[in-house]
Amino acid sequence: MKAIKLLFICVLTFTAVSCQWDINLNKVNGNGNVVTEERDNIRDFDRVKGSAGLQVFLKEGKEQKVVVEADDNLMAVIETYVEDGMLRIGVDGNIGRASSKKVFVTYTTLNEVRASSGSHVIVEDEIKNEDITLDASSGAMLEASVFSKKLYLEASSGANVEVTGKTKELRSKASSGGHINAENVLSAVCNARASSGGHIQVNVKDKLEAKATSGGQIDYYGDPSVKSENKNYSGDVRKM
């Protein structure tokens, strides 16, 4: 019996170690030697998406450019390419420990920014455009300042969107624990939808249409006329 127990423990230990070994095999750890590299053939984009836990910094300029700062052995797995007008920034595989995994983007015009999979995307200059879309998902963080006629915000799966600025029309949607902080975005009219633990903060001057369901919460600042659709649901719409 003792021999059987010992064999069972050995099998469990081997299985656990093997699983850990397999997991580590799929990750590339940085070697600590941080270098910078400018990427070639990056042009003709007006949308950007960051993913895979990378830090992405966006800045307006006269020419489009992408510079990667990372451990030199990670350069081969950090991908930057343009597809259908969108600059996609991600990783071929998985990065473990890293001294740096930053991507610096210079854009000439910008109307859409997306962040996913634990990435942190920061737009350093105010985005000015007719229509602007900001979207974060899967634990990502997106920070931006905007000036637009129409602004579309979305956060899902524990992601966060932090925005400042001004827009005429704001449409916002938060779900599955996503959080949108647009308290410092002055909007004339706003349509807000929060569900499944999503949380939205908005600042509205004239008119607000709000719907909160399944534990969703909408907090609004200002004195707009309000049409709320949370009466028969377990959500909350509150004036702050």
Q: Is residue 4 part of a domain?
A: no
pLDDT above 70 coverage of the chain, percent: 88
183 lies in the same domain as 230 = yes
Collapse the DSSP code of 111 into the 3-class scheme (helix H, G, I; strand E, B; otherwise coil) and give the result: coil
Q: Report angle CA 162, 164, 170 to the nearest 5 degrees.
A: 90
β-bridge partners, 221: 203
With H, G, I as helix, E, B as strand and everything else as coil, classify residue 43.
coil
Q: Which of 122, 157, 173 is the last residue of a domain?
A: 122
What is the domain extent for residue 239? Answer: 126-240
Q: Within this chain, do residues 99 and 177 fall inside the same structural domain, yes or no?
A: no
First vs last C-alpha separation in the chain: 67
Q: Domain ends where: 86, 103, 122? A: 122
Tokens representing residue 155 in the block: 């956060």
Whether residue 18 lies inside any domain: the answer is: no
Dihedral in degrees, nearest 10, Cα atoms 73, 75, 79, 80: 170
- The count of structural domains within the chain is 2
Would 7 be classed as within a structural domain?
A: no
21 found inside a domain: no
- One domain for residues 108 and 140: no
> Does residue 10 belong to any structural domain of this protein?
no
- Per-block average pLDDT, block size 10, for the chain (240 residues)? 40 36 66 97 96 98 98 97 98 95 98 98 98 99 98 99 99 99 99 97 98 96 91 82
What average pLDDT does the chain have? 91
Q: What is the pLDDT of residues 17-72, one digit of tens each?
A: 333 333 455 789 999 999 999 999 899 999 999 999 999 999 999 999 999 999 99
- Would you call 66 helix, strand, or coil by DSSP? strand
Residue 48: name the closest of 118, 131, 146, 123 by CA: 123
Supply the pLDDT for residue 17: 34
Tell me what pLDDT residue 233 has: 67
For the domain that residue 37 is a member of, what is the CATH number? 2.160.20.120
Last residue of a domain, one of 104, 122, 140: 122
Same domain, 89 and 192: no
